[in-house]
């Protein structure tokens, strides 16, 4: 799984979404992330088809929404997602939240069936705390490949990062730029100025140093490129430690159906 991907949350203008996916892939991105609830799977699929990049070179992920997590709905809506995406498999399918229709035994048996059939190449979970992942593993035959959570310099997710390291689990960061709050925020600005970089690049480089895959949302070519160029930014040990010491804790995504005890 490439450590930098294109996030598509709220990228719900069809043509803009098509263009952003095509632009990202032509630029070099190989990881595209979407979800049923985003309402843009068709546009993502069209962007993939339009880009001059073979499907097998693209790591494509989507997520099953909380109202579709019964056994039958997982199977039915995943088939619908594949049709919209214009592909016969996805590289990673997530349970979007451990909420509403999520029942580990029933939900995950459907994921196992999709995995065994080759319709999904990997099983993922999203917004899971460690005990949710442990429970999921009890019901899955397929390995849990990744946990996608909000993670950025202002919500560093120390416990989840440590758990992921211990359990050989990929941690994927959504909202890695804290909904643009990294812009103009110290000490990120000072570090960015030192490197002739942007604050988003610093945040993404910090996540990469922590072994976390980031999927920043971007629609314009300028922002897609700015994020891409974070791959060339190397932070010093002191700069990483400075970001580690940020005391601010600011969760941007906290719906009423989220886990009861966030970190």
Q: What residues contact 116, with CB distance under 8 A and at least 6 apart? A: 141, 142
Q: How far apart are CA 150 and CA 161, in angstroms?
A: 12
Tally of CA atoms within 13 A in the half-sphere of 49 that contains its CB: 12
Q: Which of 38, 94, 115, 163 is catalytic?
A: 38
**94 is known as an active-site residue:** no
Give CA torsion, residues 66, 72, 75, 79, to 10 deg: -90
- CB distance 20 to 48 below 8 Å: no
| Per-residue buried b or exposed e for 175-187, using 16+ beta carbons within 10 Å of the residue's own CB | bbbbeebbeebee
Please provide the size of the chain in residues.
263
SS3 72: helix
Residues identified as active-site = 38
């Amino acid at each position: 799984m490439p450590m930098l991907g294109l996030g598509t949350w709220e990228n719900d203008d069809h043509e803009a979404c098509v263009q952003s996916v095509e632009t990202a892939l032509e630029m070099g991105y190989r990881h595209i992330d979407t979800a049923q609830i985003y309402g843009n799977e068709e546009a993502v699929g069209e962007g993939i088809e339009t880009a001059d990049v073979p499907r097998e070179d693209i790591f494509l992920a989507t997520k099953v929404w909380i109202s579709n997590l019964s056994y039958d709905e997982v199977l039915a809506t995943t088939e619908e997602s594949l049709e919209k995406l214009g592909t016969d498999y996805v590289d990673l399918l997530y349970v979007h939240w451990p909420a509403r229709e999520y029942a580990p035994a029933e939900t995950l048996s459907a994921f196992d069936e999709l995995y065994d059939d080759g319709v999904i190449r990997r099983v993922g979970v999203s917004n899971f705390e460690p005990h949710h992942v442990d429970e999921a593993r009890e019901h899955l035959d397929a390995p849990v490949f990744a946990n996608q959570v909000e993670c950025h310099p202002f919500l560093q997710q120390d416990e989840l990062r440590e758990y992921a390291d211990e359990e050989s689990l990929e941690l994927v960061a959504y909202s890695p730029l804290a909904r643009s709050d990294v812009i103009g925020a110290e000490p990120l600005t000072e570090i960015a100025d030192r490197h002739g970089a942007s604050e988003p690049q610093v945040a993404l480089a910090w996540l990469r140093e922590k072994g976390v895959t980031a999927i920043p949302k971007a629609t314009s070519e300028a922002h897609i490129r700015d994020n891409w160029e974070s791959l060339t930014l190397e932070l010093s040990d002191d700069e990483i430690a400075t970001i580690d010491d940020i005391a601010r804790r600011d969760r941007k995504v906290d719906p009423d159906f989220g886990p009861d005890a966030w970190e």
